[in-house]
């Protein structure tokens, strides 16, 4: 007879690609009683050295060696987008569970290969991290599904950020390698809208913009999506950094990457071609001179600001929902109330939700919510945004899946 699963145990994780994105998950991992970070693989020797000093974990130069380590149960793939599919397949072949950063892959064929590998080798595949994991989004979903403000009627999400101003490596400036705002930022908005709208997008009509001469990559998109049940949604991301959505709220300055003066200087340097982008990006990674203060564990929640997801407004038959500083504003026939969200800094960023999802799948054998087919359906919408812009027509979708319970 099989013994029951031990539910007091941690899942042992190895991260592949300890770059700027992966560092964002470190505080949640450090605070978690569900996972333990035991190893890292990266091609950057300084990153490995700093990781060894700070965390004392095992380090490897490549994914194959990390996956050969029997201590590692799950692999967190945060390498550049062009490696997501190949690295997932390698991890699956070694029998390791996988969390893969957004976008899941660059093409639908790659996404299919990843799902197929996860099934063939019997591993859990989680398509992380999009801002649909945020407690704000989860709270909105609960309110919509409770029916207290009636049927979902329309959704709008708009983000104004400085994505194009931040240091970018060559792969992030190459659309063939999954660079630019439609690949890198649309997954946050698409995943969120699909989760709130039930998952099944019928069609997309979109425009993509590339107008800043200092960056050879699209920094803008706007799209209209229609769900199978007729619900409309608009989504827009403008990463040019002239106006920042965070400025819409009085406490927004806490979340700026740059001051307005710094953005002017960065834009000037990009136009003049005088900045060393590889170096500036490397400075942001762990042990670099401009490393962000995100590797310590913070317990105080940060207030919401309209950052990479943007300002999300959901209209239902009997009211509107939108993010508040620490919760959700519900505007309905009784007036406006602010429904708070409980939690610490890691729950508010959504990163502990992602760790919980992996843990529940691996330890309790529960279904993955952000599964391979779910991630592939989000990728399909992101690709449709780019196709619609190229061909100037509405794109019908065919790989959509229903939002999980």
Ligand X SMILES: NC(=O)c1ccc[n+]([C@@H]2O[C@H](COP(=O)([O-])OP(=O)(O)OC[C@H]3O[C@@H](n4cnc5c(N)ncnc54)[C@H](O)[C@@H]3O)[C@@H](O)[C@H]2O)c1
Q: How far is the CB of 64 from ligand X (least distance, A)?
A: 10
Nearest position to ligand X, beta carbon: 19
Nearer to ligand X, 105 or 236 (CB): 105
Site for ligand X in 306-365 (CB under 6 A): none
Of 21-29, 50-58, 205-213, 298-306, which part binds ligand X (CB under 6 A)?
Answer: 21-29
Q: Is 81 in the site for ligand X (CB under 6 A)?
A: yes
Q: Is 63 in the site for ligand X (CB under 6 A)?
A: yes
Of 15-23, 106-114, 243-251, 316-324, which part binds ligand X (CB under 6 A)?
Answer: 15-23
Nearer to ligand X, 177 or 207 (CB): 177
| Interface residue with ligand X, options 32, 35, 44, 76 (CB under 6 A) | 44
Q: How far apart are CA 190 and CA 217, in angstroms?
A: 20
DSSP 307: -
Tokens of 192: 């969120």
Q: Is 285 in the site for ligand X (CB under 6 A)?
A: yes
Site for ligand X in 363-382 (CB under 6 A): none
| Interface residue with ligand X, options 58, 97, 129, 267 (CB under 6 A) | 129
Tokens of 200: 């099944």
Kindly list the distances between the CA atom of residue 353 and the CA atoms of 137, 157, 298, 368, in Å, as whole numbers in the listed order. 12, 22, 16, 12
3-state secondary structure 74-116: EEEECCCHHHHHHHHHHHHHCCCEEEECCCCCCCHHHHHHHHH
Partner residues linked to 11 by β-bridges: 35
Q: How far apart are CA 70 and CA 171, in angstroms?
A: 32
Q: Is 78 in the site for ligand X (CB under 6 A)?
A: yes
Of 72-80, 143-151, 211-219, 322-330, which part binds ligand X (CB under 6 A)?
Answer: 72-80
Nearer to ligand X, 108 or 264 (CB): 108
According to DSSP, the β-strands at 58-60 and 35-41 are parallel
Of 14-22, 200-208, 323-331, 333-341, which part binds ligand X (CB under 6 A)?
Answer: 14-22
Which distant-in-sequence residues (6+ apart) come within 8 Å of 142 by Cβ? none
| Interface residue with ligand X, options 11, 13, 15, 18 (CB under 6 A) | 18
Nearer to ligand X, 152 or 377 (CB): 377
| Interface residue with ligand X, options 39, 41, 90, 137 (CB under 6 A) | 41
Q: Is 43 in the site for ligand X (CB under 6 A)?
A: yes
Place of tokens 């500083």: 325
Q: Is 107 in the site for ligand X (CB under 6 A)?
A: no
> Which among 130, 75, 64 is positioned nearest to 102, based on CA atoms?
130
Q: Taking the C-alpha atoms of 172, 174, 179 and 183 in order, what is their torsion angle to the nearest 10 degrees? A: 180
Q: Is 16 in the site for ligand X (CB under 6 A)?
A: yes
Tokens of 230: 């007729």
Q: Is 19 in the site for ligand X (CB under 6 A)?
A: yes
Tokens of 339: 């429904």
Q: Is 42 in the site for ligand X (CB under 6 A)?
A: yes
> Which among 279, 312, 264, 259 is positioned nearest to 143, based on CA atoms?
312
Q: Is 20 in the site for ligand X (CB under 6 A)?
A: yes
> Which among 370, 343, 318, 393 is positioned nearest to 146, based on CA atoms?
318
DSSP 213: T
Q: How far is the CB of 58 from ligand X (least distance, A)?
A: 14
Site for ligand X in 160-189 (CB under 6 A): 169, 184
Q: How far apart are CA 47 and CA 40, in angstroms?
A: 9
Kindly list the residues in this chain that would bind ligand X in the complex (CB under 6 A).
Answer: 16-22, 24, 41-44, 47, 62-63, 78-81, 83, 101-102, 129, 169, 184, 285
């Amino acid at each position: 007879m099989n013994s029951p699963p031990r539910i007091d145990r941690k899942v042992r994780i190895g991260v592949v690609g300890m770059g700027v994105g992966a560092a964002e998950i470190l505080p949640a991992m450090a605070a978690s009683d569900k996972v333990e970070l035991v190893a890292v693989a990266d091609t950057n020797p300084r990153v490995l050295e700093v990781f060894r000093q700070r965390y004392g974990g095992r380090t490897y130069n490549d994914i194959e060696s990390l996956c050969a380590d029997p201590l590692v149960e799950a692999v967190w793939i945060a390498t550049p987008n062009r490696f997501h599919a190949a690295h997932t397949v390698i991890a699956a072949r070694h029998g390791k569970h996988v969390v893969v950063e957004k976008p899941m892959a660059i093409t639908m064929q790659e996404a299919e290969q990843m799902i197929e590998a996860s099934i063939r080798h019997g591993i859990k595949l989680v398509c992380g991290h999009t801002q649909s994991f945020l407690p704000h989004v989860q709270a909105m979903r609960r309110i919509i599904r409770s029916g207290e403000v009636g049927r979902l009627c329309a959704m709008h999400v708009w983000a104004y950020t400085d994505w194009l101003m931040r240091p970018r490596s060559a792969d992030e400036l190459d659309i063939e390698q999954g660079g630019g705002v439609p690949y890198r930022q649309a997954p946050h908005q698409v995943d969120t809208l699909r989760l709130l709208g039930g998952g099944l997008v019928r069609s997309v009509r979109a425009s993509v913009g590339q107008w800043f001469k200092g960056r050879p990559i699209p920094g803008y998109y706007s799209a209209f999506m229609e769900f199978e049940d007729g619900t409309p949604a608009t989504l827009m991301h403008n990463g040019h950094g002239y106006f920042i959505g965070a400025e819409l709220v009085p406490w927004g300055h806490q979340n700026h990457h740059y001051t307005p003066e710094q953005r002017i200087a960065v834009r000037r340097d990009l136009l003049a071609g005088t900045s060393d982008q590889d170096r500036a990006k490397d400075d942001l990674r762990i042990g670099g001179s401009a490393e962000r203060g995100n590797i310590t564990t913070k317990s105080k929640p940060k207030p919401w600001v309209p950052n990479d997801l943007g300002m999300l407004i959901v209209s239902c038959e009997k009211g509107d929902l939108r993010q508040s500083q620490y919760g959700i504003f519900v505007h309905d026939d009784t007036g406006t109330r602010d429904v708070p969200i409980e939690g610490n800094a890691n729950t508010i960023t959504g990163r502990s939700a992602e760790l919980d999802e992996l843990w529940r799948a691996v330890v309790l054998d529960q279904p993955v919510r952000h599964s391979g087919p779910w991630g592939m359906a989000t990728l399909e919408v992101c690709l449709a945004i780019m196709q619609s812009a190229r061909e100037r027509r509405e794109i019908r979708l065919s790989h959509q899946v229903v939002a999980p319970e």
